[in-house]
Structure formats: C-alpha cells, structure tokens
A and B are shown apart, each in its own frame.
Chain A
C-alpha cells in the first residue's frame, strides 16, 4: 500500500524509481501539479521551472533505461533562490536581483544536477537571507503550511514550506545563523546545516562569508544523509571549502544511539524558552536516554553572548558582501541618476529592503573608524570564547542537544517591528555558525498544533553523529511523518 508519491520521502522515491513503480516524469508532473494547486496560498516559490524539470525528468528516465544515472537520478527537489542557477532567474528574495538571470551554476546546483536531481523551481526566502520569518522577501512572505497566518521561519522559509506541504520531497537551503534549522523546526521538517567548509559556497550569494553554509531541508534524516553525500566535498572554486574525506553518511543510519553522549546545555533551557516547547524537547531527550544515550550537563558560559556577537559579525561581513550591488554590472539601477553618487545611493536604496539596509548600515557602523575595536574586534574575540565553549564541551560529549527555536512558529507581522525580538529567534542556532559546527533540527512534537524542533549540534566534521542521533530519534517517534492537514 504505497503512499501517494508526494507523501514519500526521497529515499522511498528513489526505491520506487529504481523498481520502476513510476517514472521521474510521472513524479515530476505530480509534484508540479501540487505546486500549481497550493503555491498560490503558500508563496513558497519565486520561480517554478516546470519545463526544465520535465526535460530533466525525461532525461533521467532515459538514463535509467540505459542503466545509467547518478544516485539522485530522477529525484525532484527545489533550490533556495540564493543559489545561482544558469539561465534561470536568481533573485535572492530581493528587488535588487528582480531581473538577474545567472550565467552560471552554483557548485551545489551542479553537483545535485550531475547526480540526476530534477529541479522543480527556486524557493522564496528572506531578502539576501536576512531574516528569521521570511517576511523580508521582496516577493511577499511565505505562509506556514501548518497555519497560513503563521510564519514558516526563515530565511529558508520557502524551502521549508515546500517540503512541509509535500510540494517537493527535499530542498536546498543556507544557514548563516539558523536559516535552515529554524524554519525546519517551525514547519516540522528536518534541516541539516553541515560543518563550515563541508559544502562549497561557490555560487551561493553571500550574506556573511565566515558563517554561511549550504545544507538541506528534508522530511527525514536519512534523506538529508543521502543529499549531503552528494553536495559535500572540496571545491577548487571555494578557498574555504575543505579537502576532507566525504564519508557515506547513510552508514550512520544503521548505528544505534546506545552509548551516545548527549550534552545538555543549561543555558539553552533558560527563561527565554517557551515552556511548552521546552517540555517537548525534554521529552525528546528522555526518549533518547531511554534508548541508551547518556545525557550530560554542559556549561557554556559565553553562549548567551552569541546573538549580539552574531549581530556584529554577520552585518559587518554583509555590509561588504553587498557592496557589489551598485547598479553597474547587474541588478537594479535607478532611473536617470544625476551623478555617480546618486546612482549608487538610489540603486541601492531602491533595490534593498528595510532589513537589508539596516544590516548593511549596522555592519558599516561596526567596521567604521573609532568603532571597529569596540564592536567588530570585540565580537570576534567573543566569538573565539564561544567556539572554545563548544570545543571544551565536545571533549565530553558527542553531540549537544536542545531546542532549535525558543518558540513555535509565530504569527506573520508579530515580530516585524522589533528587530531584537526577531533576532532572538536565532538564540540557540547562531552558536554553531559562529564556531563553524554542524547542526540538525528534527521534529519532536507540537505546541498548539505547531511543530517543535529538536536541535543537535556536533563537533567539526561530526555530521555522522548528528545523522545517527536524529535518525534514531525519528525511528523511535513519528513526528516527522506528521503532515499539515490541507496538504495530505
């Protein structure tokens, strides 16, 4: 009694394609039909690439018939619109790139395509990945499939919503401060952010270069393992990608959780955490403990400073990264500029939304003469202290577990007026970015009908421990099978 195609995970679909139960064209058509039916309400897509997807699906079917094709042959997925895709609109959620057709592919896009993946479209996101609610997108907010009045989180909100609503079995995302894990938690999906340097950043439009990392949003950790194996690896076009062996992540799936040492950070259960969310997470930890994992208390004295640290470092880097959008070689250009200065100021003033401008200005300020030491340098020092907290913790534990987000999804519009409240959404996730560590969020319950995520962080190159722990948890519970009512 095979479930409908859109309800199947990537791993199940791979098996179905392999056994000839259905073709990639049939699968792709079914999903494109769902996108057509539902995306009007969800706004998860900026661009749907139906024609290209069907052509790729046909090619995948032919390859399979010829006994060829990569590990993802014929499997559909969607890309966050931050990844450059050749000859396809790539907006990064911004008016600035409203008409930008990339002349090249991101390495991640190439790798997935080479493995046979079929791309259904490009997903909506916070503008330049700056936001935690998807409300900063120039293309309108994404709705949470669990409740259309709620935010799916951000910045990879379109990817998370598309996977949660069963419009696509998997999506790429990027995570600078929690942008994969937080929307995954808020939509009941699995979100994996690998170790910094694990996946190439080439072709991924930069927000904060020392924090950005590409990852995936899926419906199971097994699917995340499958995709990571394809995406990971050294790229000669990215100096910060690391030449570190890529294991077969799916082998981690068969390892039991027995004996795994799980660190519980007391600061992660402080006053800022919603009570019901905290309860769901504690119950999840109890499930893991009951199955042989050891819970160990961990103290991270500097972790409370991770959000202010992040909101200095990330804006500093973004202020510089976004200088290239000047209306000269690509992107929005103001009409009839009076002079060069006017061209710059108006092109950028019109092309960027309010949150992007705020972050660019914050970053400009913290790097400027007289403030550099007090803010930027200080933040990089505190960053070191936070990273050391993690490294010390990983001398005693294999993974660190806690909540992904302090609350379940919030109503659209609720936090837009207060940047600080919005920034505090990232309180449990930014630490991993500051230290370059891998993290995963997997569904662990519901609060008032909205999903809650369990957050796991591992040491550098510790993806296997994360996948092992999350996968075991998923086998012991069925939260990740839960589907929003209107999308079953």
Chain B
C-alpha cells in the first residue's frame, strides 16, 4: 500500500484550509540586536568574535532562504510530515522499570536522586 500524500492543492481544498497567499515582505538580513535576541531564545552564549561571524553568516543564510518567497503557495497545505498516515497508539501499560542510578551516571550533578541546577526562582 502506498501512503502517498494527496496533492497539496487537493488537500487544501479538501480540508477547507485556506492559506491565502499573503505577499509578505521578507525581512532581509539580520542585525546584531536580532541575533542577540535569537541567541537568548536559543540559550547560546557566543564569544565576541563568534558573534560577529554569526551575524554575517546568519544573514547570508536568511537571505538565501528568502528565495522561497518566489513560490506561489496559494491553497497549498503545509506538509509537516513526509508520509500521510495517522498516529499509532500504544496500550496503557507500565513497561519501564526504575533505572535511575544507571540513567544518572551521565548526569553532571545529582543529590539524593535529584538533578541539581542553580536555584530556580519563581
């Protein structure tokens, strides 16, 4: 059996999804502030020289992928997955034993079975 996806246009209509082609202006390139914001969101500390290089290369990447704006995607359903199949379900059964000690061998810092992190403030 072939799990071939229906065509994008067919699916768009069949499911009544409308992704109207909004000719959105593609933002071009990134500035330092944006890159800093992204780094915070992604929790990445960049060294100063690394940061400058990142601004340059990320901008080139973003400019490169901007060519997607050329494509006419009117009524095309986004394809999140290569196969058009449904989720399979597992039975509700406990199958996993306690293996805490083995799993925590990889942990940088534990105490009394807890993973330690710098104090969390709520």
Q: Which residues of A contact B (CB under 8 A)?
A: 99-101, 103, 196-197, 210-211, 236, 239-240, 242-244, 302, 305, 308-309, 311-312, 319, 323, 326-331, 333, 337-346, 348-350, 352, 354, 357-358, 360-362, 364-366, 368, 371, 373-375, 377-385, 387-388, 391, 418-420, 423, 433-437, 459-461
Contacts and interface: CB of A to CB of B under 8 A. Distances in A.
Interface residues of B, number: 68
8 contacts: A242-B85, A302-B71, A309-B68, A327-B108, A337-B118, A357-B54, A368-B38, A391-B5
Interface of B: 1-5, 7-8, 11, 19, 22, 24, 26-27, 30, 34-35, 38-47, 50, 53-54, 57-58, 60-62, 64-71, 73, 76-83, 85, 87-88, 90, 99, 102-103, 105-109, 115, 117-120
A381 B19 contact: yes
A100 to B, nearest CB: 6
Contacts of A305: 67-68, 70-71
Contact of A375 (B8, B22, B41, B68): B68
B77 A365 contact: no
Contacts of B58: 358, 361-362, 365
A101 B105 contact: yes
Task: Tell which of A243, A309, A374 has the most Cβ of chain B within 10 Å.
Answer: A374
Contacts of B99: 103
Contact of B57 (A103, A350, A358): A358
B68 A312 contact: yes
A380 B54 contact: no
B61 A420 contact: yes
B50 A460 contact: no
User: Does more than half of chain A's interface fall in helix, strand or loop, or is it mixed?
Assistant: helix
B79 A387 contact: yes
Nearest to B80: A380
B73 A364 contact: no
A378 B60 contact: no
> Which 3 pairs, one residue from A and one from B, show the smallest C-beta to C-beta distance?
A436-B82, A349-B45, A380-B78
Contact of A385 (B66, B71, B120): B71
B21 to A, nearest CB: 9
A103 B61 contact: no
Contacts of B22: 373
A459 B2 contact: yes
Nearest to B79: A384
Contacts of B66: 308
A329 B82 contact: no
